[in-house]
Amino acid sequence: MRSEHYVALCRQLCANPTLTQRDLASRLGVSLGLINLTLKESIVQGYLRKEGAKTLLTDEGQSYLDQFKVDNAIILAAGFGSRFVPFTYETPKGLLKVKGVPMVERQIEQLIAAGIKEIIIVVGYRKEAFDYLIDKYGVTLVYNPEYAEKNNFVSMYYALDYLKSTYVLMSDNWIEESIFNAWESRCWFSCLYFEGKTAEWIAHSGSRDKITKIEIGGEDAWAILGPAYFTRDFSETFAELIREHYHSPGTDNDYWEHILKDNLGSLPPMYMNKQSRTNVYEFENLEELREFDESYRLDSDNVIIREISQALNVSPDMICRITPLKVGASNLSFTFYVDSQGYVFRTPGLGTEKLINHAQEKAAYDVLIDVGITDEIVAFNSQRGTKITKFYEGVHVVDPSDVGQLTEAVRLIKTLHTSGLSTGYACDIEKMISCYRDLAEEINAIRFVDFDEVTLSIDKLLNLKRKIAVEPVLCHGDFTNTNVILFPDGSGKLIDWEYSGMADPIMDISMFAIDSIMDRPQIDQFMRMYISEPTREEWCRLYLYVALGGFLWSIWAEYKQASGQEFGEYPLKMYRYAKDYYSILVHEGYLA
């Protein structure tokens, strides 16, 4: 008698001892002959006994069954859930409601109903949102501090202390009918059948549905999707592989399933738990969720979807094909479609209200509406800082190493600088430095050891700036290669005008140069593209703004990092511009 047959049989009889052999065969999906044989052997072993129409578990049977007791469940819930923006801007994906119930809560309740009391949830993004589950269900929260930089195998790493006889779940699965039990006899992974070609992770199997190989993508095949179950011996081996993987280079983007796929031969056997696609769900996008839950067609209970619906005068279910753009340094953006027209929605990121005046941004769009160098505004809420613009197919940002593309970027910025327009707002780098420094120092964000010394140098540069009399013109303020989009014909537009205002036009040239991480020969060449023969004063202003811009954005990056965003080497490179170009200004006689 195989343990899985006995455990499966006893689970059914514990719940209902009056089940007939035919009932058991139907529920377990096995032959009537196998049920008959298993029952006879179990009675001979003393695990079951007959009492009239009932088949009861004996004490010996309970002892045997208890060796397969499930210890706990680990639910992975740390990720952002990018495929479900804008909902996940406000709510972690696992807490999105389906049929009125948060997805993670449905799984928790199914686990508890199966007798699983110890439930661990690995959190990261918006971790505080999960705190109420401690009071409601007695769960344990484990924080993954690397959720933003690494994939979900790292969540498993931080939960290793809990990995025993364990269910492993994703918080964003919806399971119609519970597939959890108090006892499990072997490792398994929920598998769903996909007809035709699929990009899912395909499981190949041998006898008894043992998984022999996993590959990404296939056709007319079973795919691993949904919960998995690890026995204790599987967990022990797998935990060592997780630790090894964590300390290996080049693994940041891996799922925990990568480790399973690459080590099937050295792990205890894992089997398919074949499920219906009407029982286990993973919603890939809003359209799939709408198909399953009608409420998302009528009113998604999401502020951003409502704002789009009202701005475009369309019903929520017409807003489709939502695709997140790369999260910006200050903003969160996504593309969407209504019918065949694409749009971009931008909402300010956390803490942006302290840094940006969106009325100032809107003023730039308003005065430039007929100049033809900005992206096309459809709706702009200057109070909330949200905007909707038309989405342009086939565009790309400027490559700073391509002279032709740089030429178009220079043409655009010259058009702006010579427009003769004014917004009534100033783009004052001195005030920005002061503001960002105060914000950063308030939360002890600045980690440069020589910051006080460098600040004294910057003060000298600001004094120099005050002595230079330049007629301010309308500037972009954040003129970078990523804020210049080019169309297939080579023409371009300037986007993202949050820092726009009246200023020295050479400041824009300096900002583009440092954000493109240009060295001095490249900076000088770029300047000559803007002014063919710069005067000594113009060279001075260029290097001055390289230094001031580097200082400004290094403080800005330090502040943003302390607020939860990671910028890698960016603050170091910006700080270096501040120090190096201060030295250039001193050594070449621009600064006495």
Pair 48, 57: CB distance under 8 Å: yes
Give a yes or no: residue 540 inside a domain.
yes
**C-alpha to C-alpha distance for 450 and 555, rounded to whole angstroms:** 13
> Rounded to whole angstroms, how far apart are CA atoms 476 and 303?
30
Amino acid at 463: N
Closest by CA position to 324, among listed 302, 294, 347: 347
Boundary (domain end) residue, out of 230, 254, 282: 282
Residue 359, token pair as written in the block:
């009325």
Whether residues 181 and 158 share a domain: the answer is yes
Q: What is the pTM of this model?
A: 0.81
Q: Count Cβ atoms within 10 A of the Cβ of residue 470 and give its class: 0-12 exposed, 13-18 middle, 19 or more buried.
A: middle
Q: What CATH number does the domain containing 563 carry?
A: 3.90.1200.10
Q: How far apart are the first and last CA of the chain?
A: 92
Whether residue 312 sits in one domain with residue 247: no
Gap between the Cα atoms of 25 and 37, Å rounded:
12
Q: Return d(Cα 221, Cα 334) in angstroms, integer.
A: 33
Identify whether the C-beta of residue 425 lies closer than 8 Å to the C-beta of residue 500: yes
Q: Residue 235: inside a domain, yes or no?
A: yes
The residue from 29, 51, 66 where one domain ends is 66
Domain assignment of residue 485, given as a range: 396-587
Q: Are 202 and 223 in contact (CB under 8 A)?
A: yes
Segments of the chain with pLDDT less than 50: 1, 327
Looking at the structure, tell me whether residues 352 and 419 fall in a common domain. Answer: no
465/490 same-domain check = yes
Contact at 8 Å (CB) between 154 and 246?
yes
Residues 248, 330 share a domain? no
Judge if 504 and 356 occupy the same domain.
no
Beta-bridge partners for 49:
56
Strand runs (DSSP E) across 284-339, as ranges? 319-324, 331-338
In the chain, count of helices (H) and strands (E)?
21, 23
The residues, any chain, with a CB within 8 Å of residue 33's CB and separated by 6 or more, are none
**332 and 197, same structural domain?**
no
Q: What residues form DSSP beta bridges with 534?
A: none
| Residue 382: CATH number of its domain | 3.30.200.20
Token pair belonging to 517: 């991480």
* Nearest in space to 238 (alpha carbons), one of 223, 252, 253, 257: 257
Q: Is residue 296 part of a domain?
A: no
Claim to verify: residue 424 and residue 540 sit in the same structural domain = yes
SS3 344: strand
Q: Determine how β-strand 501-503 pairs with β-strand 473-475.
A: antiparallel
**Domain count of the fold of the chain:** 4
Give the tokens for residue 388. Answer: 């909707």
Is position 293 within any domain?
Answer: no
Q: How far is CA 170 from the centre of its chain?
A: 15
**Residue reference for tokens 């058009």:** 415
Measured distance CA(186)–CA(205) in Å, rounded: 15
Given this model, what pLDDT does residue 215 score? Answer: 96
Question: Would you state the pLDDT for residue 478?
Answer: 95
- 492 within domain boundaries: yes
Q: Write the pLDDT tens digit of every residue in 122-168.
A: 999 999 999 999 999 999 999 999 998 899 999 999 999 999 999 99
Total residue count of the chain as it appears in this document: 592
| Local structure of 184: helix, strand or coil | coil
Read off φ and ψ for residue 353, nearest 5 degrees: -60, -20
Tell me: do 120 and 258 sit in the same domain. yes
State how far the Cα of 565 lies from the Cα of 349, in Å rounded to an integer.
10
Q: Is 292 part of a structural domain of the chain? A: no
Q: Does any domain span residue 290?
A: no
Domain termination site, one of 282, 310, 328: 282
21 and 114 co-located in one domain: no
- The answer to whether residues 342 and 477 belong to one domain is no
CB 380 within 8 A of CB 389: no
538's enclosing H/E stretch is: helix 536-562
Helical packing angle, 32-45 and 21-28, nearest 10°: 110
Per the domain annotation, does 274 fall within a domain?
yes
Please tell me whether residues 461 and 506 are part of one structural domain.
Answer: yes
